A and B are shown apart, each in its own frame.
Chain A
Amino acid sequence: MSEAAVSSDPVAVVASPSGAAPILRIRGVGKVFGSGPSATVALNDVDLDVAPGEFLSVVGASGCGKSTLLNLIAGLDRPTSGTLEVGAKVAFMFQDATLLPWLTARQNIELALKLSGVAKRDRRARAEELLATVRLDGRGDSRPHELSGGMRQRVALARCLAQDAGIVLMDEPLGALDAMTRDLLHDEIESVVRAQGLTVIFVTHNMREAIRLGDRVVLMGSHPGRILYEEDIPLPHPRQMDSTEVATRAASLTARLKAQGHTHVG
């Protein structure tokens, strides 16, 4: 009940990058893969600030360096140039959920707890709590292959929460799901993220989804990967994917991307 109240509160604070000190500060970051004539510039001179508690959507065609950017933030890769200041622990939610198939849903969460230093005797209860948070109570003993795509992503979300991170990176986590499951997960991600005060960077190529969830939308272009444009979305939460406001903004932002020659956005 309380989660629903939080998520449906129309005056929920929309964080703005100009407000509190940013939890993530990216300055002049570039990433080049390879060297010499075969080198590819994946990211060029990216500047980005993200405020604590902000939900930032990143949209762009494939090859715009979205995933590279997330990898740099997560520390999985180093930038070729520029600086990243990451002010909190980072969790990562992948497109294919990446649950370990030899562990049950609960054990997947327990592993994250273990690697985050939670004492053994507390892990089971904490994992059950997290399963309840993503409305999977009673499914803890299921193996990943016994769960639907939506349930797998909910376990992945619970695993992110288990890491007790301040920043959650989501790399097209709902890209492979059907529309109904996706809408349901939008609501859940939103309520969980707001209840926990998490900062989210959500990568998608669905413009409506970006606007449905984001306090701010960043458009990225390719060759080289860079930030083209950003816009605050001051609509009250929760929003509907098919509402007129979302559709209108999606159309205008898509037009903006197209004007830059980046047309492969749905």
Chain B
Amino acid sequence: MSADVLTPNVEVAAEAPRGSGFGRTAWAWGWPKLLAIGLVLAFWQVVYMSGWRPAYVLPSPATTLSKLWDMLGTERFWSAMQTTLTRAIIGFLLALLIGTIIGVLVARVRPLRLAVGSLITGLQTMPSIAWFPFAILLFGLTEQAILFVVILGAAPSIANGVINGIDHIPPSYLRLGKVLGAGTIALYRDIALPAAMPGYLAGLTQGWAFAWRSLMAGELLVIIAEKPSLGANLEFARQFSKAPELLATMLVILILGMIVDGLFSSFSRRLRRRRGLAVD
């Protein structure tokens, strides 16, 4: 009885779905996001209704969402999606390979670190779109031009993640490894690599963000004939003034980026929780 008196919040929270712990967690996790989306749509609707721009330039949320629904039923959309995701995956995997190798070398070879350590950070600050004119000169309007820039965008972050991860391995773990009788290979495989994982994962997350941005810039600039992609769709929608299609495609790009980023951060959260590190 007295507990009810002391906790009036229980009554307020009664609107939330009661029942399973999962439902509660999902609701607690989901309602701020739903609210934010609702606010954005409301703001968009208000701007639309204010008549600031004509409807063929700035369509209403309802028009855009129904266009998105129609798009999801077309083969052209899915083929564009496939092209874009394939490029993203191949570009990211190549950047992963190259960034990891460079990161390990720079972290382990002192002269190399002095030589190119700051260059890697410098490359990270270089907007990847600035590479495209050069990439197009080198490779023409081809897949290679896009991959080239995606890799240049993502690999420095990944390399930096590796370097950070290796630099922050507690020396006591390496000492332990030697005491346990680990040879060079075992020391890397069983101690150094897992110990460097949190830094590496942070680098991968950032690398993905850069890869995705570079890819979108690339698809806008490097349009390959007969090869629909999300970026190319944006460009065509602009040229033919198809505002609803343009906005719908942007939504798809936003959601895809968020999904992958969410995967990375949930992976990183799980890893930190398992190790008893602070989870934000």
Q: How far is the CA of A102 from the CA of B191 in the complex (A)?
A: 10
Note all chain B residues with C-beta closer than 8 A to A94. Answer: 172, 175-176
A101 adjacent to B276 (CB under 8 Å): yes
Is residue B182 contacting chain A, with contact meaning CB distance below 8 A?
A: yes
Q: How far is the CA of A114 from the CA of B176 in the complex (A)?
A: 14
Task: Please give the number of chain B residues whose Cβ is less than 8 angstroms from any Cβ of chain A in the complex.
Answer: 20
Note all chain A residues with C-beta closer than 8 A to B180. Answer: 111-112, 115-116, 159, 163
Given that A98-B172, A100-B191 are known contacts, is A143 also in contact with B178, CB under 8 Å in the complex?
no
B190 adjacent to A115 (CB under 8 Å): yes
Note all chain B residues with C-beta closer than 8 A to A74. Answer: 179
**CB contact list, A112-166 vs B, under 8 A:** 112, 114-116, 143-146, 159, 163
Q: How far is the CA of A114 from the CA of B177 in the complex (A)?
A: 12
| Min CB gap B271→A, angstroms | 8
Q: How far is the CA of A145 from the CA of B271 in the complex (A)?
A: 13
Which among A76, A114, A144, A145 is the interface contact of B179 at CB below 8 angstroms?
A: A76
Is residue A91 contacting chain B, with contact meaning CB distance below 8 A?
A: yes
Q: How far is the CA of A101 from the CA of B182 in the complex (A)?
A: 18
Note all chain B residues with C-beta closer than 8 A to A159. Answer: 180
B276 adjacent to A146 (CB under 8 Å): yes
A143 adjacent to B181 (CB under 8 Å): no
Is residue B55 contacting chain A, with contact meaning CB distance below 8 A?
A: no
Given that A100-B191, A102-B194 are known contacts, is A143 also in contact with B179, CB under 8 Å in the complex?
no
Note all chain A residues with C-beta closer than 8 A to B186. Answer: 115
Residue of B nearest to A162 (CB): B180
Q: How far is the CA of A143 from the CA of B180 in the complex (A)?
A: 20
Residue of A nearest to B179 (CB): A92
**CB contact list, A85-101 vs B, under 8 A:** 90-92, 94, 96, 98, 100-101
Number of A-B residue pairs, CB cutoff 8 Å, is: 53
Is residue B274 contacting chain A, with contact meaning CB distance below 8 A?
A: yes
Which among A91, A100, A115 is the interface contact of B194 at CB below 8 angstroms?
A: A100
Note all chain B residues with C-beta closer than 8 A to A146. Answer: 276
Q: How far is the CA of A114 from the CA of B277 in the complex (A)?
A: 27
Given that A116-B181, A145-B276 are known contacts, is A96 also in contact with B175, CB under 8 Å in the complex?
no
| Min CB gap A127→B, angstroms | 14
**CB contact list, B170-201 vs A, under 8 A:** 172-173, 175-176, 178-182, 186, 190-191, 194-195, 197
Most buried by A among B172, B180, B190, B194: B180
Which among A90, A96, A98, A111 is the interface contact of B190 at CB below 8 angstroms?
A: A111
Which among B178, B179, B190, B275 is the interface contact of A101 at CB below 8 angstroms?
A: B275
B172 adjacent to A96 (CB under 8 Å): yes
Q: How far is the CA of A25 from the CA of B194 in the complex (A)?
A: 37
| Min CB gap A114→B, angstroms | 8
25 CB < 8 A contacts A-B: A74-B179, A75-B178, A76-B178, A76-B179, A94-B172, A94-B176, A96-B172, A98-B172, A98-B175, A98-B176, A100-B176, A100-B191, A101-B274, A101-B275, A102-B195, A102-B271, A102-B274, A102-B275, A111-B180, A111-B190, A114-B190, A115-B180, A115-B186, A116-B180, A159-B180
10 tightest Cβ-Cβ pairs between the two chains A and B: A145-B276, A101-B275, A92-B179, A115-B180, A102-B194, A98-B176, A115-B181, A98-B172, A115-B182, A112-B180
- Other contacts beyond A100-B191, A145-B276, A146-B276: 17, CB < 8 A: A75-B178, A76-B175, A76-B178, A94-B176, A96-B172, A98-B172, A98-B175, A98-B176, A100-B176, A100-B195, A101-B275, A102-B197, A102-B271, A111-B190, A112-B180, A143-B275, A145-B275
